[in-house]
Every structure is written in structure tokens, then in C-alpha cells.
Amino acid sequence: MEKPALVASDVDGTILSTHEQVSDHTAAVVGRVLADNTPFVLVTGRPPRWVPRIAESLNSTGYAVCANGAVLYHVGEDRVVWQRGINPVRLTDLVHALDTAIPGCAVAAERVGERAGDTVTFLAENGYQHAWPETHDSATRAEVLGHPAIKLLVRRVDMTSAEMTTAATAVLGDEFAITYSTNAGLIEVSERDVTKATGLADVCERLGVAAQDVIAFGDMPNDIPMIQWVGHGVAMANAHPDLKAVADEITASNEQNGVAQVLERWF
């Protein structure tokens, strides 16, 4: 690939270490990308509330595609540019179907306001267990499903995420976008046709950058649409086999600064 006109990177398992830190090496290389006036875009499953700390460690103040493509957030302006949510009626129908596909599952809804720090943006029903360390207030299922959500999180701790995806897809088909970023019994469901690729495509259109001039990095199945859409898709050494199978290149792991190692060819 020639020097990329835009760099896009997943967050967890990609640009962050397993301790959720950006290394000094990676931060320095991203700094050179930005100093070259090349846009650097975080493309993550995380909602906006979890993005500012990561962006700050990279000195990144531009766009971030959040919630697997359901939200476009401008870091420097602390502003949600747009969101593509699931309305309460479709949420309710979705959960009824999932109860059949994955009996015993628990659900949570991720919402978004106008800014990253808006309160009450995550609500989980009683019995929902996080796949990562975080606290939350419990609510009834009706309360969880009562407002539009940028994504529905579905949890069943005694299944793998891959097994859950297969079961959910069997009943939902392509009515919703189903993906996962951990295999620890958690799937994430968004509105139909919402992916990291659709979110990144919007950013590229705004900035006048063609898909073939973009390089992107990722590690999990939720990164597959983005890796396939860009001109050069890079999988981490620690990536899921399904992502490695569609990537143009496999770099070193997130612990070995794999993103930085590739970007140093040009920056």
C-alpha cells in the first residue's frame, strides 16, 4: 500500500495493551501520523463515554466511530454527531426473539446523549453480569427496553459469544447486525446494516478520503466489515481466526505495538 490518507484503529486488543494502556511507542507513532495531517480515527465497540481517556492518551481530537458504527462522536468538541439506534418497539421484538434463541439470557442497553459524559447511558436488567469490570444500576427489563438504544448487549455466561451469535442469527437472520468483541458469553446487537464499516465510511465521506486509501487495524469479529472495506486491512497477531482470514496483513500483537510497527513504514 502507498502512504495511507487515513488511519483507522480498533481500541481493545488492538491499540491498547491488555492493561488498557497506550504504550509510549504507539503514542509517539500516532503523534507522527497526526503531525503529518493524516486523520487518525478510533473505531470501537465502546460507547462515547469510554472514548475520551483513550483519545487523550493519543492526542487525538477528531472523529471516533463508537458502538460498532452506531454513533459518530467528535472527540475535540465532545459532541455526538449522529446516532443510529434501535427504537423501543424493535428492541422489545428483538429480545422476545432472543429469549427463544438463547433461553436464560440477560440484556442491557447502551444509550447516548449529546456528550460523552451524559448520565444514565447504560442500563442493565436484574441478573445481567458484565464481561468486564464495571458497576451499574439494575432495572426491570421493561425499563431497559423503554428507550432507543444504540446497541443491545446480550449476556449468557455459560455459552461462548460465537455460540450465541450462531443461535441469534438463526432466529434473527439479517434483521439486525449481530457481532461480538469478546468470546466470553456476550453479543452486541445493533440496528440492521450498522457496522464499523458503515460508520467509518461516513467519516471518510466527510473528510474526502476514498476507501482504498485507508488502512485499518483490528482483532475481533466486530472488526471484519471494516477490515474488508478499507484498502489495506491489518489483523493483530492476537486476532480472532475469522479476522485473520480476511485481513491483507497480520502484524505483531497489541502487546508488541503491532499498530505502530506497520505505521512506521510511512510515518
pLDDT of residue 1: 85
Q: Is 170 exposed, middle or buried (0-12, 13-18, 19+ CB in 10 A)?
A: exposed
- Spatial neighbors of 211 by CB under 8 A, at least 6 apart, are 201, 204, 229, 230, 231
Q: Where are the domains of the chain?
A: 6-83+195-263, 88-191
User: Which three three-digit cell numbers place residue 260?
Assistant: 505502530
Percentage of the chain beyond pLDDT 90 is: 93
The yes-or-no verdict on residue 130 having pLDDT over 90 is: no
- Of 65, 67, 62, which Cα lies nearest the Cα of 47? 67
Q: State which amino acid sits at residue 87.
A: N
Q: State which amino acid sits at residue 45.
A: G
Residue 121: pLDDT band (50, 70, 90) is confident
State how far the Cα of 11 lies from the Cα of 15, in Å rounded to an integer: 5
| pLDDT digits 0-9 by tens, 56-85 | 999 999 999 999 999 999 999 999 999 999
Q: How distant, in Å, are the alpha carbons of 45, 142, 169, 220, 241 from that of 42?
A: 10, 33, 28, 15, 22
Structural contact between residues 81 and 74, judged by C-beta atoms closer than 8 angstroms: yes
Residue 3: pLDDT band (50, 70, 90) is very high
What is the chain's Cα-based Rg? Answer: 18
- Of 127, 174, 123, which Cα lies nearest the Cα of 152? 123
pLDDT of residue 131: 82
Tell me, which fold does domain 88-191 have in CATH?
3.30.1240
Find out if CATH 3.40.50.1000 is the number for domain 6-83+195-263. yes
Residue 137: pLDDT band (50, 70, 90) is confident
Task: Look at residue 202 and give its three-state secondary structure.
Answer: helix
Mean pLDDT of 165-189: 96
State how far the Cα of 180 lies from the Cα of 161, in Å rounded to an integer: 7
State how far the Cα of 14 lies from the Cα of 214, in Å rounded to an integer: 17
> Alpha carbon 8 to chain centroid distance?
12
The yes-or-no verdict on residue 233 having pLDDT over 80 is: yes
Total-model pTM: 0.95
Q: Who wins on pLDDT, 117 or 35?
A: 35
Mean pLDDT of 146-174: 97
